[in-house]
């Protein structure tokens, strides 16, 4: 009840008549739920983005747009809504901040749910020697998809199907249509051999494994996207030892001395990989932001929030980039501590 009352008292909803808040409170108290309008969901999702303590890109929270998919009645309907989300999120000209909101949990408490952490994920296949072909982060998801009947090509960048759980249905999988998966092949502006590594990444980071909580209502299907920070791809996904682990290969091709960590070969390879990411996305016409720029944007966001009389809770370890953090303005400062009770918000599942 408190979350509902506080939500309708937000300044962004001040234009609504008082009776709307009272009606929502009565319905929530009497029936355990109420139906929010598309406007209320959109504003709630924007506020959830603004409130989310792990996002460094939330200065653009007002730009978020909505696909209302609450009328979806089965897993196939939700899959179609997710595919439409990916089409709208990148139309060949610009990356658009977007959220798709599906039905809340049914009266029996059985939720619709997307199993994938993001709408687009690459498969991971364990090899007999202990290595992984593809993305080690998705080995369990790949195994689940295969047990359901999906078969990949065993390449390093097989796009996994979308796995969706819906009330009254067995867990189902849906292959992503080719037109919704825009990928960027990576090349380097100074090293022609880089393209031969066969690296690529997708254009849209659509997070799909978090609950959206607005005004006392929980939406367990709420995939949303902004755009990539280059270091998410170059300094985590492709370089992490527990991910694609490309730094030794790149260092070798660069002719770097890897006999000691003191040569900083990892750092030098990491910079070149991130240069390739920024160059390739720019060349492909897919918007991406570098870690220096997004850090400056976030500091500006904090200042605007302070001017509006609001704090800005932030998880320091997520706000700072995984490379050259000490060179960014987000590094040498403290933040309001994360508050897990803040709503509206995107809530991580156990």
Residues annotated catalytic, as ranges? 55, 58, 227, 232
Please state whether the peptide bond connecting residue 333 to the residue before it is cis, i.e. omega within 30 degrees of 0: no
The DSSP annotation for 282-337 comes to: HHHT---B-HHHHHHHHHHHHHHHHHTT---B--HHHHS-SSSGGGSTTTSS--BP
- Residue 67, sorted as left (phi over 0), alpha (psi -120 to 50) or beta, turns out to be beta
HSE-CB at 109 with a 13 A cutoff on CA atoms is: 0
Residue 218 to residue 21: CA distance in whole angstroms: 17
- Measured from the Cβ of residue 219, the count of other Cβ atoms closer than 10 Å reads 26
Beta bridge partners of 173: 163
Tell the burial category of 229 from Cβ atoms under 10 Å away from its Cβ (0-12, 13-18, 19+).
buried
- For the stretch 234-243, what's the b/e string if a residue is b when 16 or more beta carbons lie within 10 angstroms of its beta carbon? bbbbbbbeeb
39 φ, ψ to 5°? -65, -40
């Amino acid at each position: 009840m408190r979350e509902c009352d506080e939500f309708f008292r937000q300044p962004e909803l001040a234009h609504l008549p008082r009776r709307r808040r009272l009606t929502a409170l009565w319905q929530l108290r009497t029936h355990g739920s109420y139906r929010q309008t598309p406007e209320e969901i959109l504003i709630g999702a924007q506020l959830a983005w603004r409130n989310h303590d792990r996002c460094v890109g939330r200065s653009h929270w007002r730009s978020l747009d909505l696909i209302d998919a609450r009328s979806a009645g089965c897993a196939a309907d939700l899959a179609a809504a997710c595919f439409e989300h990916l089409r709208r999120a990148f139309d060949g000209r610009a990356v658009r901040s977007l959220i798709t909101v599906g039905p809340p949990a049914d009266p029996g408490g059985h939720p619709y749910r997307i199993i994938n952490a993001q709408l687009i994920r690459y498969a991971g296949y364990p090899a007999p020697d202990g290595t992984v072909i593809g993305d080690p982060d998705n080995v369990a998801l790949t195994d689940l998809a295969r047990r359901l009947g999906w078969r990949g090509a065993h390449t390093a960048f097989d796009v996994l199907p979308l796995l969706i759980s819906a009330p009254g249905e067995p867990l189902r999988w849906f292959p992503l249509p080719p037109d919704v998966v825009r990928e960027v092949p990576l090349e380097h502006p100074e090293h022609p051999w880089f393209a031969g590594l066969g690296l690529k990444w997708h254009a849209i980071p659509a997070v799909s494994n978090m609950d959206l909580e607005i005004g006392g209502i929980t939406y367990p299907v709420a995939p949303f996207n902004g755009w990539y920070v280059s270091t998410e791809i170059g300094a985590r996904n492709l370089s992490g030892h527990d991910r694609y682990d490309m730094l030794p290969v790149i260092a070798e091709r660069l002719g770097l001395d890897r006999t000691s960590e003191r040569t900083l070969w990892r750092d030098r390879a990491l910079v070149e990989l991130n240069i390739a990411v920024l160059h390739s996305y720019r060349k492909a016409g897919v918007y991406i932001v570098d870690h220096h720029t997004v850090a400056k944007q976030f500091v500006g966001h904090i200042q605007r929030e302070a001017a509006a009389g609001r704090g800005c809770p932030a998880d320091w370890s997520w706000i700072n980039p995984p490379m050259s953090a000490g060179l960014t303005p987000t590094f040498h400062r403290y933040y309001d501590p994360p508050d897990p009770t803040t709503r509206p918000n995107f809530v991580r599942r156990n």
